[in-house]
């Protein structure tokens, strides 16, 4: 297992081992069975942190078969291997399921199935369970555990759910940003000897829970958003992505939306944020106007959204510009620059102020998208998986920032599979069923 604070190079190392690094400056060398990674690509399989970036086919079965066909696997073997890999990861649909109708967690399972079907000697996993519900994550860990225990492959795992995954690994390597390896050895020995030190450095360590945010006085809650039998069905689909639901979102309150993959959590977040027109019912603000009808320039000043994929909301060429772009009717001159600098410092983005947002790591992108939403000073904040890709240190900062936003009077509504984070922040939990 490979651990390290956000930005320490974990994903970069996996990309290098997979033979996928292009350009840039490098030193040293990487070898797979004595070969350069580009030459040894047929011996490795990788599951990316962002599963959507690896999907190339329109149907789930074709996605898994694509790599097998490229490797020249005999046609008679392909579909049995496809079906076996889909079953292994608990994929809930058949081969014909459209890939663009999958949730983020379902995409992650499909991406893992595509890698396992290749029967690689080296399996590189970049947070393979981050977008999965607890049951789905358990299925994936069990599947990988069987393969590793059977001696069929070597696995290098980057994971923030350390407590749940540590039994899968024999060796722990901890990286420090710009500092190389700071620990290497059996997990139990490293956590026993250096657990407090690593947790303070931002590493997820078992039995080091998130601290509870400070208690602050709050005002009387008021309803800011009302969903009345709101639901959504994708065109051409028989089953709804979200069955009709009633919901009130209130000021001075944090609402966690949880549930299995495919239950409609992200769809509900988009409907509440006015970014998707409901198929049934409606979501309204305090003025009674359906939020999907509100013009974008007005909507952005009242509802701040953090998408499941942060790249879908970046608009400028630098981190600094992205932060100062956020709209607000309440700022005095210079306030935007001061607040942007404060958030960059707290969320460990200051050193990246001049970087292009699209070049950041997955965790850095997520923190930037949260910061841009906060800078808009919205009365309602809707976040989809805000802790994805975060180390312990940045998760604590996000927890404190969102708790302060809630206690100042905003409604904070967040979709998550991170149940410890939900327990630390949420005043109320809505659990959706598939």
pLDDT, residue 314, reads: 92
Last residue in a domain, options 168, 200, 232: 200
One domain, residues 193 and 232: no
State the chain's mean pLDDT as an integer: 89
Mean pLDDT computed over 198-208: 89
* 99 part of a folded domain: yes
- The whole-number pLDDT of residue 131 equals 77
pLDDT (mean) for 379-386? 95
pLDDT for 23 equals 66
Across the range 105-109, mean pLDDT stands at 85
**Paired sense of beta strands 411-415 and 253-258, if any:** parallel
Task: Check residue 24 and give its pLDDT.
Answer: 66
Question: How confident is residue 326, by pLDDT bands cut at 50, 70 and 90?
Answer: low
Q: What is the pLDDT of residues 43-75, one digit of tens each?
A: 899 988 777 778 899 999 999 999 999 989 999
The pLDDT of 411-433, averaged and rounded, is: 95
Instruction: Render pLDDT for 287-315 as a digit per residue (tens, 0 to 9).
Output: 899 999 999 888 888 999 999 888 888 99
Residues 261 and 388 in one domain: yes
Between β-strands 223-232 and 242-250, what pairing exists: parallel, antiparallel or unpaired? antiparallel
| pLDDT above 90: residue 128 | no
- Give how many domains the chain has, as a whole number: 2
Asked if residue 155 and residue 118 are part of one domain, the reply reads yes
| Share above pLDDT 70 across residues of the chain, in percent, rounded to a whole number | 97
- Give pTM, 2 decimals: 0.84
Q: Which domain holds residue 288?
A: 223-431
Spatial separation of the C-alpha atoms in residues 314 and 375, rounded to whole Å: 14
Least confident of 23-32, 92-101, 199-208: 23-32
Q: Are residue 75 and residue 152 in the same domain, yes or no? A: yes
Residue 331: the pLDDT is: 55
Residues 230 and 330 both lie in one domain: yes
The predicted structure's pLDDT at residue 254: 97
Mean pLDDT on 204-221:
90
Q: Are residues 183 and 279 in the same domain?
A: no
216 lies in a domain? no
Q: Could you please report the per-residue DSSP string of 281-342?
A: EEEE-TTS-BGGGS-HHHHHHHEEEE-SSGGGG--SSSHHHHHHT---SSPPTTHHHHHHHH
Q: Is residue 210 part of a domain?
A: no
What gap in Å lies between CA 219 and CA 231, rounded to an integer?
31
Residues 268 and 336 in one domain: yes
What is the spatial distance between Cα 159 and Cα 400, in angstroms, rounded to a whole number? 23
- Is 262 found in the same domain as 398? yes
CB contact burial 334-347 (16+ within 10 A = b; e otherwise) = eebeebbeebbebb
Q: What is the pLDDT of residues 189-201, one digit of tens each?
A: 999 999 999 998 8
In a domain, 134, yes or no: yes
- Pull the structure tokens for residue 432: 């959706």
Of 200, 215, 250, the one marking the end of a domain is: 200
Tell which of 169, 200, 231 closes a domain: 200
Decide if 206 is inside a domain.
no
Q: Are residues 85 and 154 in the same domain?
A: yes
User: pLDDT at residue 228 above 90?
Assistant: yes
CATH of the domain at 123: 3.40.50.300
Question: Given pLDDT bands bounded at 50, 70 and 90, which one contains residue 257?
Answer: very high
Q: For residues 412 and 12, which has the higher predicted lDDT (pLDDT)?
A: 412
> Tens of pLDDT along 328-373?
555 555 777 888 899 999 999 999 999 999 988 888 999 999 999 9
């Amino acid at each position: 297992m490979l651990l390290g604070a956000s930005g320490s190079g974990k994903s970069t190392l996996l990309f290098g081992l997979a033979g996928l690094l292009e350009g840039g400056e490098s030193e040293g060398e990487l070898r797979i069975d004595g070969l350069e990674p580009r030459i040894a690509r047929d011996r490795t399989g990788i599951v990316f942190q962002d599963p959507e970036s690896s999907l190339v086919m329109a149907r789930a079965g074709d996605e898994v078969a694509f790599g097998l066909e490229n490797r020249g696997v005999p046609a008679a073997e392909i579909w049995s291997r496809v079906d076996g890999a889909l079953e292994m990861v608990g994929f809930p649909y058949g081969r014909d399921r459209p890939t663009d109708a999958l949730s983020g967690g379902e995409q992650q399972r499909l991406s893992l199935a595509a890698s396992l079907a290749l029967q690689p000697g080296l399996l590189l996993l970049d947070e393979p369970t981050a977008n999965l519900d607890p049951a789905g994550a358990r299925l994936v860990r069990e599947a990988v555990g069987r393969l590793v225990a059977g001696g069929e492959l070597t696995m290098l795992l980057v994971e923030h759910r350390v407590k749940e995954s540590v039994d899968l690994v024999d060796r722990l390597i901890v990286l420090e940003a710009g500092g190389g390896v700071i620990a290497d050895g059996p997990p139990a020995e490293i956590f026993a000897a250096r657990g407090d030190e690593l947790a303070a450095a931002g590493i997820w360590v078992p039995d080091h829970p998130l601290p509870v945010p400070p208690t602050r006085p709050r005002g009387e809650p008021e309803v800011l958003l009302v969903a009345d039998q709101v639901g959504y069905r994708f065109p051409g689909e028989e089953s709804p992505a979200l069955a009709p639901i009633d919901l009130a979102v209130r000021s001075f309150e944090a609402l966690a939306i949880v549930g299995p993959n495919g239950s409609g959590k992200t769809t509900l977040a988009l409907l509440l944020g006015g970014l998707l027109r409901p198929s049934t019912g409606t979501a309204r603000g305090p003025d009674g106007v359906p939020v999907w009808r509100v013009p974008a320039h007005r909507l952005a000043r009242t509802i701040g959204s953090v998408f499941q994929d942060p790249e879908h909301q970046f608009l400028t060429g630098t981190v600094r510009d992205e932060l100062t772009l956020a709209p607000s009717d309440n700022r005095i001159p210079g306030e935007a620059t001061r607040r942007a600098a404060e958030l960059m410092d707290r969320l460990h983005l200051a050193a990246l102020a001049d970087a292009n947002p699209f070049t950041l790591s997955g965790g850095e992108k997520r923190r930037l998208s949260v910061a841009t939403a906060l800078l808009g000073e919205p009365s309602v904040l809707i976040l989809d998986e805000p802790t994805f890709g975060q180390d312990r240190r940045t998760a604590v900062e996000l927890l404190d920032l969102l708790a302060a936003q809630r206690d100042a009077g905003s409604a904070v509504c967040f979709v998550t599979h991170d149940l410890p984070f939900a327990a630390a922040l949420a005043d109320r939990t809505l659990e959706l069923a598939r």
